[in-house]
Amino acid sequence: MFGFLFFVLMAHTAYGDVSYSFPEEMKRGSVIGNIAKDLGLDVKSLSSRDARIDNEGNRKRYCDINTNTGELIVAERIDREGICGKKASCVMKQELVLENPLELHRFILNIQDINDNLPQFKLNIIKFEISESADKGSRYLLDEAHDADIGMNSVQSYTLENNEHFLLSVLTGVNGVKYGELVINKELDREKQNEVTLILTAVDGGTPPRSDTVVVTVSATDADEGQNGEVTYEFSHLSESLLEIFDLDAVSGELKLTGIIDYEEESTIELPIQAKDSQGLAGRCAVLIDVIDVNDNTPTIMTKSVKISIPENALPGTEVGIINVQDRDSENNGQVRCSIQLNVPFKLVPSIKNYYSLVTTGELDRELLSDYNITITATDEGSPPLSSTKNIHLTVADVNDNPPVFQEQSYRAHVQENNKPGSSICSVSATDPDWRQNGTVVYSLLSSDLNGAPVSSFLSINGDTGVIRAVRSFDYEQLKSLTADLTLKKTQSSVDDLERLDAEMSDSFQVVLLPAVVSL
């Protein structure tokens, strides 16, 4: 609902990158801006150039591009608190990738906070036991309320129910956190009143503000109940995830790591700690932890835009696909080099950052080698380095580039005269190494005349099998031999292919007729 109150702002940074500021929690599909327009890209080419968002290292894809309009839209719930926690600015680097030619545009999502979280106290009741001898002006630290929002949307003030004994003093801690102290305004007297119950309210600075209320009980203790200054330690507000990782010994104050810290999740950690004595007097501090990156992420290789089939007539240098490598580690630990094996007619050409083009380096011939198993290896520069491999199976697609060839240069058959019409004379055969219909041949006789009659009135050929038959009975006294030309055609349906590729093979076919034995 707060989305309507914000305008989406767009500004160019010093590097020419485009940045979009918009509030968290916008509905899926909401338009963030028109990135095609802002980058000066042709909207009509977005789809054919496979325009897409590749976010750097993030596993979730928060935005998408509508390739029909060029608009950047919300693809996933964007919860500022979940993504950036208490960070003052919540910036996500994103990349827009286009192919043909490969182009990469960086842009930035700047997520703004909305007041979608309530301030919250850790406990429902804050209890104090204060000696009746405590002086006017003594101060007692109140547990702070926590609000997951930031800036003005986080806790801004506290109010305390009006009462006779205590005032509220609101203070700001080192990290900007607002907290309260109970200050004795009028000494306690256990004999008159042994317990005081008050209401403490925490309010954030959002519009409208949100608040949370807690009950504070103070019991007055005897002046002589001997309590000394034993100090205990505890965390002020800490997120669930950090509570699982750090343990603070209440008595010794020793801080221990009990879980796993991940530099990729948080590179600096702040632990607010408070120390209290048994009188409720307290002090605060924050422990800042710098997490050092360790090379614990293997590079990942993404090959989603690789064509798995390349025509065998592709020229050397043809781009077969785009490889993207990512490594979530920082600096050298995240620097990745990519290679492929040497004995293949392909190479990787480094392109824009973390992208490589896979290109052919030589001519391909499906009839010699129809498959390639390419292994891509990505290695980072950490020590020790981590690497990963990915196999790409490429097939070479057929082009009708081989003419059919007869097995013999010429065929000769001998037929006795007075043969039966339809009898088989001989059979011819041809081969073609191309694939399927590109390699399927059809036999026929080239039409020509023989003694004033078409050759087809003497001979016929079965187009599929190449079997040649006599059409009529021959008479040696009239015709001692005949010659016919055979042709081969491939069963091509496309006219283009016929014109360009259908080699017509001619061959000489000769039938020699033998005299019949005359018996008396």
Ligand X SMILES: *[C@@H]1O[C@H](CO)[C@@H](O)[C@H](O)[C@H]1NC(C)=O
Q: Contact residues for ligand X (CB under 6 A)?
A: 373, 375, 391, 393, 398-400, 435-438, 497, 501
Output the smallest distance, CB 375 to ligand X, in A. 5
Q: How far is CA 447 from the centre of its chain?
A: 62
Do residues 140 and 181 lie in contact, with contact meaning Cβ atoms separated by under 8 Å? Answer: yes
In DSSP terms, 185 is beta-bridged to none
Angle (nearest 5°) at CA 148 between 143 and 151: 95
In this structure, are strands 371-380 and 336-340 parallel, antiparallel, or unpaired? antiparallel
Output the smallest distance, CB 507 to ligand X, in A. 24
Q: Which helix (H) or strand (E) holds 38?
A: helix 35-39
Output the smallest distance, CB 408 to ligand X, in A. 27
- Residue 32 or 376: which CB sits closer to ligand X? 376
Please choose, from the candidates 97, 92, 35, the residue with its C-alpha nearest in 3D space to the C-alpha of residue 61.
Answer: 92
- Residue 395 or 448: which CB sits closer to ligand X? 395
Do residues 19 and 107 lie in contact, with contact meaning Cβ atoms separated by under 8 Å? Answer: yes
The rounded distance, in Å, linking the Cα atoms of 217 and 312 is 84
Output the smallest distance, CB 348 to ligand X, in A. 17
- Residue 194 or 491: which CB sits closer to ligand X? 491
Output the smallest distance, CB 379 to ligand X, in A. 16
Structure tokens at 252: 């010794």
The rounded distance, in Å, linking the Cα atoms of 256 and 124 is 28
- Residue 94 or 379: which CB sits closer to ligand X? 379
Please choose, from the candidates 368, 373, 334, 339, the residue with its C-alpha nearest in 3D space to the C-alpha of residue 356.
Answer: 339
The rounded distance, in Å, linking the Cα atoms of 89 and 80 is 9
3-state secondary structure of 92: strand
Output the smallest distance, CB 367 to ligand X, in A. 12
Output the smallest distance, CB 366 to ligand X, in A. 8
Please choose, from the candidates 270, 273, 245, 293, the residue with its C-alpha nearest in 3D space to the C-alpha of residue 86.
Answer: 270
The rounded distance, in Å, linking the Cα atoms of 271 and 200 is 25
Q: Which helix (H) or strand (E) holds 427?
A: strand 424-427
Helix, strand, coil content of the chain in percent (nearest 5): 10, 45, 45
- Residue 493 or 519: which CB sits closer to ligand X? 493
- Residue 397 or 505: which CB sits closer to ligand X? 397
Do residues 429 and 463 lie in contact, with contact meaning Cβ atoms separated by under 8 Å? Answer: no
The rounded distance, in Å, linking the Cα atoms of 71 and 205 is 34
Do residues 74 and 26 lie in contact, with contact meaning Cβ atoms separated by under 8 Å? Answer: yes
- Residue 263 or 435: which CB sits closer to ligand X? 435
- Residue 10 or 501: which CB sits closer to ligand X? 501
Output the smallest distance, CB 302 to ligand X, in A. 18
- Residue 100 or 391: which CB sits closer to ligand X? 391
Output the smallest distance, CB 326 to ligand X, in A. 22
Output the smallest distance, CB 401 to ligand X, in A. 7
Structure tokens at 300: 């990942």
- Residue 44 or 500: which CB sits closer to ligand X? 500
Output the smallest distance, CB 236 to ligand X, in A. 54
- Residue 204 or 432: which CB sits closer to ligand X? 432
- Starting from the edge strand earliest in sequence, which strands make up the sheet with 195-204, in order? 125-131, 211-221, 195-204, 155-160
Structure tokens at 448: 């020509």
Output the smallest distance, CB 389 to ligand X, in A. 8
- Residue 61 or 500: which CB sits closer to ligand X? 500
384 contact partners, CB below 8 Å, separation of at least 6 = 295
Structure tokens at 60: 């979730």
Q: Report which DSSP code applies to 78.
A: -
